[in-house]
A and B are shown apart, each in its own frame.
Chain A
Amino acid sequence: MTMNAFITGAYDTAVGELPGSSCMGLHAESAIGAVADAGLKLSDIDGVLCAYSFTEPHLMLASVFCEYLGIHPGACLAIQAGGASACIMVMQAAALVASGQCRHVLVVTGDNRLTGMSRDGAVAALSEVGHPQFERPFGISVPASYALVAKHYMHEYGVTSEQLAAIAVEHRRHAGRHPKAHKREAITVEQVLSSKMIADPLHMLDCCLISDGGAALVVSSRAAARDTRGKAIEILGAGQGHTHEHIVAAPSLVDFGCKSSSATAFARAGVTARDIDVAQIYDSFTITLAVELESIGFFERGQAGIAAAAGELGLGGKLPCNTHGGLMSYAHSGAAGGMFHVVEAVHQLRGAADVRQVPDAKLAFVHGDGGILSAHCSLVLGR
Chain B
Amino acid sequence: MTIAKYPLPRPNAQTQPYWDGAAIGELRYQCCSDCASVQRIPRSLCEQCQSTRLEWRPSQRTGTVLTFTTVYRAPLPVFKDMVPYVIAIVDMDEGFRVMANALPQACEGLEIGARVRMGFQDVHGMTLPVMQAVLEVAP
Contact = CB atoms under 8 A, between A and B. Distances in A.
Contacts of A144: 69, 71, 75, 87
Interface in B39-98: 40-42, 66-77, 79, 82, 85, 87, 89, 97-98
B68 to A, nearest CB: 6
B87 A139 contact: yes
Contacts of A248: 40-41, 89, 97-99
- Of B66, B74, B99, B112, the most chain A CB neighbours within 10 A belong to B99
A350 B49 CA distance: 49
B1 A152 contact: no
A67 interface: no
B73 A199 contact: yes
Interface string A138-154: 11110110011111100
Given A200-B72, A247-B89, A249-B41, A135 B99 contact: yes
A127 interface: yes
B101 interface: yes
A123 B7 contact: no
B73 A123 contact: yes
Contacts of A196: 72-73
Interface in B85-133: 85, 87, 89, 97-101, 112, 123, 126, 128
Contact of B99 (A126, A138, A143, A149): A138
B4 interface: yes
Contact of B85 (A121, A139, A143, A151): A139
Q: Tell me what chain A mostly uses at the interface: helix, strand, loop, or mixed.
A: helix
A121 B76 CA distance: 9
Contacts of B42: 134
A354 interface: no
Contact of B74 (A118, A139, A152, A201): A139
Contacts of B10: 132-133
Contacts of B97: 248-249
A120 interface: yes
A133 B11 contact: yes
Nearest to A143: B73
A139 B68 CA distance: 13
Contacts of B67: 148-149, 151-152, 155, 253
Contact of A139 (B1, B19, B79, B98): B79
Given A124-B76, A149-B67, A196-B72, A138 B87 contact: yes
Contact of B75 (A140, A152, A253): A140
A149 B68 CA distance: 9
B71 A120 contact: no
A239 B75 CA distance: 33
Contact of A124 (B9, B68, B75, B101): B75
Given A137-B123, A151-B112, A198 B73 contact: yes
A197 B72 contact: yes
A137 B68 contact: no
Contacts of A58: none
Contacts of A362: none
Contacts of B89: 148, 247-248
Interface of B: 1, 4, 6-11, 15, 19, 40-42, 66-77, 79, 82, 85, 87, 89, 97-101, 112, 123, 126, 128
22 contacts: A121-B1, A123-B73, A124-B75, A126-B75, A132-B9, A133-B9, A133-B11, A138-B100, A141-B71, A141-B73, A141-B74, A144-B75, A148-B67, A148-B69, A148-B87, A151-B67, A152-B112, A155-B67, A155-B112, A199-B69, A199-B71, A201-B69
Q: Across the A-B interface, give the 10 residue pairs with the lowest CB-CB distance, nearest first.
A: A141-B75, A127-B75, A147-B69, A152-B67, A133-B9, A136-B7, A139-B79, A200-B70, A198-B73, A248-B99
